[in-house]
Amino acid sequence: MKRSYLKIGTVALATVGALAAAGCGTASGGNNSTTGNTSSAGGSSGKVVNITFWYGIGNKLSDDVQKMVKQFNAAHPDIHVTATYQGSYSGGGPEQQKLLAALASGNPPDLAQIEVNSMGVFANSGKLMDLTSFMNQSSVDKPSNFLNGMLVSTKWDGKYYGVPLNRSVPVLFYNETMFKKAGITNPPKTWNDVITDAKKLTKGSGSSKVYGYGPLVDWWPWESMVWSSGSKILSSDGKTAAFNTPELNHILSMQQSLVKSKDALVETGPHYWDLMTQDFIKGKIAMDIDSIGDAAQVKQGVGSKFKWGTAYLPSDKTLNVPPGGGDMAVMKGISSAHAKAAEKFIEWWTSPKQTLEWSKMTGYLPVQKAAVQKASYQTYLKNNPQFKTAIEELKYQKAAPASSHLLAVLKYAQQSLQGIFDEGKPVQSEMKKAADQANSVLGG
């Protein structure tokens, strides 16, 4: 999962509405290929199939995507993939908004990265290709080949519309060196433990102060907090917000109390996530919740400065972990030659060899069972135990509600979280406001 404020403006929401009104209409044959002739992928005609791929993970991760695509193109002379970073995909970010607009105008790319919580919006529009038959017949992407829990975000109405691309889960990062100095032998398991440990870990003052905790003010770990409290994000019928409960508000209030007592450091602004990750790398905070997709960056940044580890997310009544990252989707209405080329690219990316390379390059999870079972990866986990936590945590993964309104609900939750942590507003009133706003789009 990476990283931006969850921004879903009126234009984007209007586009979602337009797509929903269009029902199951297909794109008008549009794609963004600009060069080459079309032929069946893998054919012997000598013609090259040019396909376009939009993605939404930036900075070093964008460079990593380009490296992978370059490898594919070199190994497949009959297919050329042009991959373009379109801005962040996170929570309805620019890439997702541009894709909605491109679908509405009938000029989409051939395939695109869909953030896991956005799948309902796109699949419900009828603009994505049904990949169920492809996956069932694929020797690489057969559903049973994927790690347990890896496909929770790829289905809509019983059909597969996405294949895992960059997948992550949130985990607790903690500074083992600081924990040992504070006399704490194990990372926290409950939210009460987080509060207790954070107070013990907070040291110093001024520019040299170390804060015990750095809350990630984001809807992604908030999903886990909802489930941890025994609450739900939406009612069973999806028509009403169900997260405004005393149990969730208690978890949020405990964390807010750490901010108010200056035992926790909150980062704000458009780069809040990156700033929090850097706070941990610099030893400014002793623990935080972050994506396993940031583990490679943390490993490189920390180096030998201190020992660090990862642990399961804190939980109270139950541990449920939201999926993170994105899936690869093919746009409905592209030519059969482009569809076959896109499927070949997906199979290559998700094969055990490539998914392992991607995982080691970035920190994102390998998606295939066969990849994790390889002796080389088991040795890698032994030498890098911080990455093992996420693999084990997958068994607690839970899908977000299957609602085409989910992005709007999360937008309102994000705004209230910022009110609580960035501005110190009362937890109960902010969560009530978010629930009321959510109900306005849910019809509750």
Domain boundaries, the chain: 10-167+325-383, 170-320+405-442
Give the CATH superfamily of 10-167+325-383.
Answer: Periplasmic binding protein-like II (3.40.190.10)
**In the predicted structure, residue 340 carries a pLDDT above the cut 80:** yes
pLDDT of residue 442: 93
> What letter represents residue 111's amino acid?
L
pLDDT of residue 45: 55
The tokens 């009938």 sit on which residue?
106
Of 40, 42, 65, 38, nearest to 50 (Cα)? 38
The tokens 């405004």 sit on which residue?
244
Q: How many other C-beta atoms are found inside a 10 Å radius of the C-beta of residue 60?
A: 13
Instruction: Specify the pTM.
Output: 0.85
How much is the average pLDDT of 130-143?
97
Cα distance between residue 332 and residue 322, in whole Å: 28
Output the average pLDDT for the chain. 89
- Asked whether this chain's domains 10-167+325-383 and 170-320+405-442 adopt the same fold, the reply is yes
Give the CATH superfamily of 170-320+405-442.
Answer: Periplasmic binding protein-like II (3.40.190.10)
pLDDT of residue 149: 85
**Helices assigned H by DSSP within 292-368:** 295-302, 336-350, 352-362
Of 386, 430, 402, nearest to 292 (Cα)? 386
pLDDT of residue 49: 98
